Amino acid sequence: MKIAFFVNAFPMMSEAFIANSAAALIDQGHSVDIFGVGNAAPTGLSVKSVEDHHLEQRTVNMRWPTSGVGRLAGLPGALGTIVRKNGVAALGRLRPNIYRRSMRDLTAFYQASAFDGDGEYDILHCQFATLAEGVIKHRKAGFLKGHIIVNFRGYDISETVAAIGPHVYDHVWPEASGYIANCDYFRSRAVDIGCPEDRIDVIGSGIRLENFPFEPATHREENHVRFLMVGRLIERKGFQVALRALAQFSQLTKTPVKVDVVGDGAMRANLESLANDLGLGASVEFHGARTHSEIAGFLRRTDVFLAPSMTSAKGGQDAPVNTLKEAMAVGRPVIGTIHGGIPELVIEGETGVLATENDVDSLCAAINRLMDQRSNWPQLVTRARAKVEEMYNLDRVTQKLVALYERTIAEENRQPKVLQSGSQQKLQARNLLQYFPSSLSASPKALRSGTIFSSAEPRLIKSVRQLACGGPASKSQHQIVTE
């Protein structure tokens, strides 16, 4: 199968599951292209084991100026790229009635410039539901072809819905062929706001278990207990609650603690200050963002892994946290919170210990409870490893994903393909010219007198005008816009 992934940017240190999934599909003989459509800067590849797949060669990260003036200045270049890749007639696809606000702010032109030819794929997989709107528009315009699959992973089904409202994805439900939630909790939330219940599967984010071999900790002679937290330093991860709970645990039980915090984010300075205020300054070390192999090393050195996720002030929630799966895979006892999809993986007394989210006393009690059960840790971590193998083994997850793709492709297309007539293309070109800022729809002479357009660019607009008035651009015109 030929598959396109749509993400905000690639690669991202905090999104190893994207790289893992793409590499696993390629290993099974499928083709995967990755489009970063969020105008975001990649932060790096955290999964070194997939470097030989050279995913960067399959990736296009779309970037455009953040200011309106900058986007206007770069617009002729974006139009020229569209023509070079798709021909002048492709400009007629950029219709205001399809792109709406993304045409008004000009981002549609920059995104469309990334697609070659007809953008034909078997599957168009939106890895985050917030990206579906753009993919739907590009497919309607003819820059993409394929069945759309929409993933719900976290912020897109929690924070986004809280901010915009339950009808935020109403325009998506009729367009996508299938949906994926990474946990039962988010599946229920998606169904509650209108997702077709018979078209949404639960497929978790798989992990490469070979990178996290089961190595339960042996008896340690140190007189302290070492805790580990991994994730972005943002409110939703709950590290601020965990630091308070650890300070309380240490004070009540007279147990020295060591705490490793791996990750980076906007709250780092606040968390460092909080650790000092709690008297934990010398016991807490902030390591910043690290690669997957480095995280595996931290997991092997720790005694207990904490995943204290909580609902943020903006409504953001987590699925089962990936580093939580990895800690359980390695054989470390874990403490999670009753939050989002975490209880689907961490079962009290069976695969870990749970606390009420955003509750210092409850989390402190959970730490105490786990420490009182040290004699039961071997059985606990063995069951936890089996749970991860059952739910998140990458090969098994990839098989589920491929089965969903194949089932989707086998279904009859819901909407017949309609070829556009020449008159329709002319009308689209006229609409495009009318929608451009006045500086672009001006005469070639006026354009040449401007300061932000080169002398070749008016001839691009002339090509659009000729299409609008009666026929395709000549070969010489096509050469002009591809110079």
Tell me the three state secondary structure of residue 458. helix
Question: Do 130 and 246 belong to one domain?
Answer: no
**CA 335 to chain CA mean position, Å:** 25
Question: Do 370 and 386 belong to one domain?
Answer: yes
Given this model, what pLDDT does residue 416 score? 52
Question: Do 159 and 202 belong to one domain?
Answer: yes
Flag whether pLDDT at 343 surpasses 80: yes
Flag whether pLDDT at 470 surpasses 80: no
What is the distance between the alpha carbons of residues 416 and 408, in angstroms, rounded to a whole number? 16
- By CB atoms closer than 10 A (0-12, 13-18, 19+), residue 444 is middle
What is the pLDDT averaged over residues 276-302? 92
What is the pLDDT averaged over residues 470-481? 40
* pLDDT digits 0-9 by tens, 195-239: 999 999 999 999 999 989 999 987 666 789 999 999 999 999 999
Contact 394, 49 (CB under 8 A): no
What is the distance between the alpha carbons of residues 246 and 255, in angstroms, rounded to a whole number? 10
Count of structural domains within the chain = 3
What is the distance between the alpha carbons of residues 28 and 21, in angstroms, rounded to a whole number? 11
What is the distance between the alpha carbons of residues 47 and 53, in angstroms, rounded to a whole number? 11
Question: Do 333 and 386 belong to one domain?
Answer: yes
- Radius of gyration of the chain measured on its C-alpha atoms: 26
**Residue 13's domain spans which residues?**
2-62+114-206+396-410
Q: What percent of the chain has pLDDT over 70?
A: 84
The distance between the two most distant Cα atoms of the chain, rounded to a whole number of Å, is 85
What is the distance between the alpha carbons of residues 257 and 263, in angstroms, rounded to a whole number? 19
pTM over 0.75: yes
Given this model, what pLDDT does residue 45 score? 87
CATH of residue 163: 3.40.50.2000
Given this model, what pLDDT does residue 48 score? 78
Flag whether pLDDT at 473 surpasses 50: no
Sheet holding 2-7, edge to edge: 59-61, 31-36, 2-7, 120-126, 145-152, 178-181, 200-202
| Sign, CA torsion 325/302/12/165 | positive
Given this model, what pLDDT does residue 411 score? 82
Average pLDDT, the chain: 87
Q: What angle do CA 15, 17, 23 make, to 5 degrees?
A: 120
Given this model, what pLDDT does residue 477 score? 38
Which range, of 198-202, 267-271, 378-382, 458-462, averages the lowest pLDDT? Answer: 458-462
Flag whether pLDDT at 137 surpasses 80: yes
Question: Do 200 and 214 belong to one domain?
Answer: no
Question: Do 124 and 201 belong to one domain?
Answer: yes
